[in-house]
Amino acid sequence: MTARRLARIALLFLLLAVARTAVPTEPSVRDLLDAQGLVQLPDDPDELFDANAVRRFYTRRGFKPAWTGPGCQAALQELIGAIENSESHGLSARDYHMDGLLGRDRCAASRELLATDAWLALAAHLHAGRVNPLTVEPDWTATRPTIDAVALLEQALAAGDVGAALERLAPHDPLYAALRRALARYRGFAARGGWVGIAPGPPLRRGDRGTRVGQLRARLELSGLVEAEPATATDLVFDESMEAAVRTFQRRTNLEPDGVVGALTLTQLNRRATNRIDQARANLERLRWLPEDMGRRHIRVNIADYSLEAWADGAVEQLHRVIVGKQYRSTPSFSARITRLVFSPWWEVPRSLAVKDKLPLFRRDPGALARFGYVVIDRDGNAVDPAGIDWKALSANNFPYRLRQRPGPNNALGAVKFLFPNTHDVYLHDTSDPGLFNHVRRSFSSGCIRVESALELARWVLAPMPEWTRERIDAAAAAGEEQIVELREPVPVHLLYLTAVSDGNGGVRFIDDVYDRDPALVRALDRAPPVMTP
């Protein structure tokens, strides 16, 4: 037990002793809660986060103290420890009335209400997140977990495990535990002053020598990618082992694994420990937003990692590379359910793409319409002969047509698309350009998600429908005529944005924040929690 912790325990016993000898004029818990609206404590600037929940808790127990009465010292001590431990979840102890609980001049009733409010707030934040996701990711539509925190507190007090009860509310995902370990590790680095950066300069590659190579080796040692050894002259040589270590680092961070320390790799290597701390905190919060029940069979897309996982009974059964939206046409984060598959789909070209991408192509090469299977539809819904259209006379403000693309090998949606109703008109689909999956950074689409080996994913989705055999799926994909399959059991799909992922060995890979979403979330975590209006 640390000296700091012992000092706080001693202070708690002193405060509780003072509380038991309080003068009769001090307000009671009931006095403070009788007022309507926000509860204003007489000796503390803090407001209660959820005065209604606090009132409900004390009304149900006849206003009997839970933390400051006789025999309550252990519960309050455990609560203080749990608040301190909230830091390991990427939260801040100061957000849970820590100063008020340890203040020497607080009356017993104020400390009592602060303790209850702190437990209820921390329970809610560990279970469903401290930040409302809609304030930083407006497209978020997943149902956040809900709990009856008052009932859980009553049970925890009765069982004498107020701290353990809070820990049980946090996500049980292995990635969550790995992120907590990574957070502790990088906080340790930061406390020791972080690491020495690699000086700017030209790209570093095998065969290079000098001080910057020594800095690179020290940085790779810190990441465990090369063995830490006493410094020698050979440390200043970029050898084969360092090249392999750089490739590993690049793969971990979703960079092109060429073994050369160019501008992007140098930026990632020089990220400060505090940057990784913020990244871990942001992703711990995102994991707290997720539904408790993702679905027995479900699909997870990590937009930032360009990956798709098909899950069943707690295990990944398929893994696919994906292509996501460009930064200015970003793929949103939300949850929905796949209700139908469409084989040999027609592509209804969105108007924005028709005028921004296709119109310039057709001006240069009108023959591209026929080659790529496009059909031009006028405002009355009739097909129009493209040869009779003066493409050069059209513009974004003068484009009275719709474009459709026939099923076939050139169709942008490929052989199959997966539909899940949503307000963004986003879906999963195959592609006619699989070569793009070979890129490490794959933000090329207009918002929808292109799936590598999409027919294999279709087989997985249709597995509960045995009449859809491999042969039947292949035939539908090659038919050239659109065929819709309604799923008897819709499949939940979760479009996530996580910039920290499992490395497969109990650790964490930090990856590029392609849409620059982390900073806003970290700023929100650093702001004071909102007070709920009674």
pLDDT digits (tens, 9 = 90+) for 381-411: 999 998 889 989 899 899 999 999 999 999 9
Categorize the per-residue pLDDT at 48 as very low, low, confident or very high, splitting at 50, 70 and 90: confident
Q: What is the pLDDT of residue 39?
A: 66
Helices (H), 129-161: 149-159
- What's the CATH code, domain 211-271? 1.10.101
Residue 202 reports pLDDT greater than 70: yes
DSSP-derived secondary structure for 254-304: T----S-B-HHHHHHHT--HHHHHHHHHHHHHHHHHS-S---SEEEEEEGG
What is the percentage of the chain residues whose pLDDT exceeds 90? 68
Q: What is the pLDDT of residue 12?
A: 53
For 228-255, the pLDDT digits (tens) are: 766 665 668 999 999 999 999 998 888 8
Strand-pairing partners, residue 405, are 347, 374
Categorize the per-residue pLDDT at 63 as very low, low, confident or very high, splitting at 50, 70 and 90: very high
What residue type is 410 in one-letter code? N
Name the CATH superfamily for 293-502: L,D-transpeptidase catalytic domain-like (2.40.440.10)
pTM: 0.87
Q: What is the pLDDT of residue 25?
A: 67
Phi and psi dihedrals of 445, rounded to 5? -90, 180
> Which position has the higher pLDDT, 48 or 489?
489
Q: What is the pLDDT of residue 294?
A: 93
- Marked catalytic residue, from 107, 127, 448, 494: 448
By mean pLDDT, which of 4-18, 34-48, 150-164, 254-268 is the weakest? 4-18
Residue 24 reports pLDDT greater than 80: no
Give the residue from 185, 258, 201, 252 showing the smallest Cα distance to 225: 252
Q: What mean pLDDT is predicted for residues 115-140?
A: 93
Q: What is the pLDDT of residue 413?
A: 96
- Marked catalytic residue, from 127, 298, 429, 494: 429
Give the residue from 264, 80, 56, 263 showing the smallest Cα distance to 166: 80
Q: Is 429 a catalytic residue?
A: yes
Categorize the per-residue pLDDT at 125 as very low, low, confident or very high, splitting at 50, 70 and 90: very high
Q: What is the pLDDT of residue 505?
A: 86
By mean pLDDT, which of 23-37, 256-270, 501-515 is the weakest? 23-37
Q: What is the pLDDT of residue 5?
A: 57
Name the token pair of 185: 């590790």
Give the residue from 137, 169, 173 showing the smallest Cα distance to 151: 169
Q: What is the pLDDT of residue 387?
A: 87
Q: What mean pLDDT is predicted for residues 105-121?
A: 90
Helices (H), 61-148: 73-85, 98-102, 108-128
Q: What mean pLDDT is predicted for residues 259-271?
A: 93
Q: What is the pLDDT of residue 22?
A: 46
Q: What mean pLDDT is predicted for residues 470-494?
A: 97
By mean pLDDT, which of 22-31, 104-113, 321-330, 525-534 is the weakest? 22-31
Q: Is 448 a catalytic residue?
A: yes
What is the percentage of the chain residues whose pLDDT exceeds 70? 91
For 305-314, the pLDDT digits (tens) are: 999 999 999 9
Taking the chain, what is the end-to-end CA distance rounded to the nearest angstrom? 40
> Which position has the higher pLDDT, 441 or 106?
441
What is the rounded distance in angstroms from the CA atom of residue 238 to the CA atom of residue 199?
A: 15
Most confident option among 32-41, 145-154, 277-286: 277-286
Q: What is the pLDDT of residue 234?
A: 62
H or E segment to which residue 429 belongs = strand 428-429
Q: What mean pLDDT is predicted for residues 269-298?
A: 94
Residue 341 reports pLDDT greater than 80: yes
For 343-378, the pLDDT digits (tens) are: 999 999 989 889 988 999 999 998 889 999 999 999
Contact predicate 138/333, CB 8 Å: no
Residue 43 reports pLDDT greater than 90: no
Domain boundaries, the chain: 3-174, 211-271, 293-502
Residue 471 reports pLDDT greater than 90: yes
Q: What is the mean pLDDT of the chain?
A: 90
